Structure 1
Amino acid sequence: MDKFETLTGVAAPLPLINVDTDMIIPKQFLKTIKRSGLGVNLFDEMRYNDDGSEVADFVLNQPAYRKAEIIVAGDNFGCGSSREHAPWALLDFGIRAVIAPSFADIFYNNCFKNGILPIVLPQEQVDALMDDAKNGENARITVDLESQTVTGTDGTAYPFEVDSFKKHCLLNGLDDIGLTMEKAASIDSYERDMAQARPWV
């Protein structure tokens, strides 16, 4: 998992509430267990017409936001089913941070496990960043995980809270496997001791 330290990038405004995981990645794309290749189907039903052509006015189809790395969204982002494919699709598209007034719990935790930083801010601050994001590719937002701040283009810094353990994992690029491998020396020592104590096992 890639480390998350500081990100300065284009933020796509998505002023919708209750964006559920089926909107993020529809159920027909859940057959794969690979984390790559899902970005093209991110927000599939909003991004594409029935004939496969792009919906021109959908934010991620607009030239200014095709390489967005941040989404500024409405309340209760990531609600619905617990599919881990949702953060996989966001990450594969290039999204590394989502800013919203609130998130569904399972989606929120899945983001951290997949290298995405979900940031909870008060509604009025999200509104300010939403307005900022609407200025297109010239408006770049900076997310600093170490200092726990989001800075808009006017220089206003908005502090956010994040669990210290989740912060540690993101800063160091540690998913569940990476956390286990931090204990590799202890695991190896335990296995050697067990092999000597119980050679018949």
Structure 2
Amino acid sequence: MSALSRVASRSVVLAQTNIDTDQIIPARFLSTTERKGLGKHAFHDWRWLADGAPNPSFAFNREDNAGREILLAGRNFGCGSSREHAPWALRDLGLRAVVSSEIADIFRNNALKNGLLPVILDEAIVQRLMQRPDDTLEIDVASRTLRTPAGESFAFPLDSFSRTCLLEGVDELGYLLARRDEIQRHESAHHKEQIHAR
């Protein structure tokens, strides 16, 4: 997982509410455990027409949205099943952050474990940002803030452990492995204390 300290990008807007994980990555594409390549299936049933041609009206098929790393989404994004493939697909699609007024808890946790930053802001703020998708937003993980070109700064919730993992580019296991020596010293000291206490 690559470290994430800052995202500066224009946005892709999906204003629909209740976008569930089956819309993000349909169940028929869940047979793989590979993360790479899932981006082509992200939002599959919205992105492609029945004949396999790109749907020209879908936001991710518009040429001017290419390369954008921030998704501005409607309320209750990522609801539904707990499939970890959903954040995998969004990361493979090139996204680094999802901004919404409500993000489903299981999706949020899966996103954080896979280097996709969930940013929760008030609904009124999200609606304002959606009106200006060509503004370059700056999201700073360390300070837990989203800034607009107009100089506005909005704080968002991010627990300290998830923040550290994102900044270091590790998941929970990677976090523990990076502190193996410290853990072994603690275990050794604890073992000696137990022996002396007998």
SS at match of 1:155: coil
CA contact (8 A) 1:142 1:150 kept: yes
Deviation at 1:156, TM superposition (A): 1.6
Secondary structure of the corresponding residue to residue 132 of structure 1 = coil
The answer to whether the 8 A contact 1:132-1:152 is kept is no
Correspondence 1:154 to 2:150: yes
Aligned to 1:14: 14
Partner of 1:196: none
Residues 162-177 of structure 1: pairs in structure 2 closer than 5 A:
162-177=158-173
Shift of 1:64: 1.2
Name the CA shift for 1:188/1:130 in 2 (closer, same or farther; >3 Å). Answer: same
> TM-score by structure 2 length?
0.90
**In 1, Cα distance between the equivalents of 2:173 and 2:49?**
39
CA RMSD of aligned residues (A): 1.7
1:30 aligns with 2:26: no
AA of the residue aligned to 1:146: A
SS at match of 2:95: coil
Identity in percent: 41
| Aligned mates of 2:151, 2:46 — CA distance in 1 | 32
Which residue matches 1:197? none
**CA contact 2:39–2:92 (8 Å) conserved in 1:** yes
2-structure distance, mates of 1:70, 1:55? 21
* Runs of 5+ unmatched residues, structure 2: 189-198
Asked whether the equivalents of residues 139 and 146 of structure 2 are also in contact (C-alpha less than 8 Å), the reply is yes
Q: Find runs of 4+ consecutive structure 1 residues off by over 3 angstroms.
A: 186-191
Q: Distance in 2 between matches of 1:91 and 1:161?
A: 21
For 2:74, the equivalent position in structure 1 comes to 74
Amino acid at match of 1:97: A
